A and B are shown apart, each in its own frame.
Chain A
Amino acid sequence: MSTGASSDLCAYSIALGDDALILGQRLAEWVSNAPSLEEELALANVALDHIGRARMFYGHAAAVAADGRDEDTIAFGRDTRTFTNLLINELPRGDFAFTMVRQFLVDAFNVPFLAALAGSNEPTLAAIGEKALKESTYHLRRSRDWVQRLGDGTQESHDRAQRAADELWGYTRELFEPFAAEARLTTGGVTADRAALQPLWRQQVAATFDEATLRIPEDAWSIRGGRDGVHTEHLGYLLAEMQFMQRAYPGQRW
């Protein structure tokens, strides 16, 4: 593999790992705060699936880069400008409706995306795609279920779910925008074209929103920047909490 291709692959694996890690961290914030014990365990399971996914992507990036970094230094040794997660993943967890609507919008993207990644000609990415697809299929079942419950529930839950959808909508466009390295990898058959997944995603989201009596927000605005390391003000606080231990005691293990 040429140097350019391997640095593309490394950047791509880190970006996908960042998406998973940051969303996993947001979900983990519900532990000790969830509405019920059952829901707390369920959220923690989903959080752990995402963090496990991040480990696989980071481990792959470290193996490809072979520059002495490992999954921990990638996760805990970078600042906001070098994190390349999509912005939707870093938004504060909000209320329960916000968390579940976000999860649904991301899961509905992840399922077809990971299915496509499982067909990658790069064996490790294909294996990660296959494993993560099973997890995300379950995540989607849960988050879709919750969107229907909240949307078609009480006036209060409906209003909260609609408000969450309205707040999140402008962040969904970024899900379908490949960055430069990714576009090159797509041409080489290493990954799927995320832009091509938008019609299917939109159709699925529309069907669920319809059942949930939620309105699809208008495409009035959209915001991007995550892949370029240009983040919302929220990411720094998330990293400060997540990375504290490794910052205070570099290299600490247990």
Chain B
Amino acid sequence: MTDMMPLYEVPLYEVFIRSKRGLDHRHVGSLHAEDSEQALEYARDVYTRRGEGVSIWVVKSSDIVASQEGDGASFYDPQDDKPYRHATFYKVPDEVSNL
């Protein structure tokens, strides 16, 4: 790397891999690539070398909208006092045998 080389950011991509048919894609990591086609090839080379996947998704990290740490109080805390949203809140009557 010399001073002559222009420095610019190669875009970051997030990689999601489905390990088996029927399972969900899971986030496995990220990588740098010039475009989505190259990101897909690099994902294959970096993350599926040991036969980990049957399907790969790549998405530009900058296209992901993420919740912020500061949103925690308003996003999640209100759920703490709403136990009726969980199935376990409800008693199953003895008469119900199949649920």
Contact = CB atoms under 8 A, between A and B. Distances in A.
A235 B45 CA distance: 29
Nearest to B45: A42
Interface residues of B, number: 13
A17 to B, nearest CB: 23
Given A45-B49, A142-B41, A38 B33 contact: yes
Nearest to A48: B49
Interface string A27-61: 00000000011110110010000000000000000
Interface residues of A, number: 12
Contacts of A37: 31-32, 46
Interface string B28-70: 0001111001100110111001000000000000000000000
B38 A145 contact: yes
Nearest to A146: B38
Contacts of B41: 42, 141-142, 145
A163 interface: no
Interface string A156-194: 000000000000000000000000000000000000000
Interface of A: 36-39, 41-42, 45, 138, 141-142, 145, 149
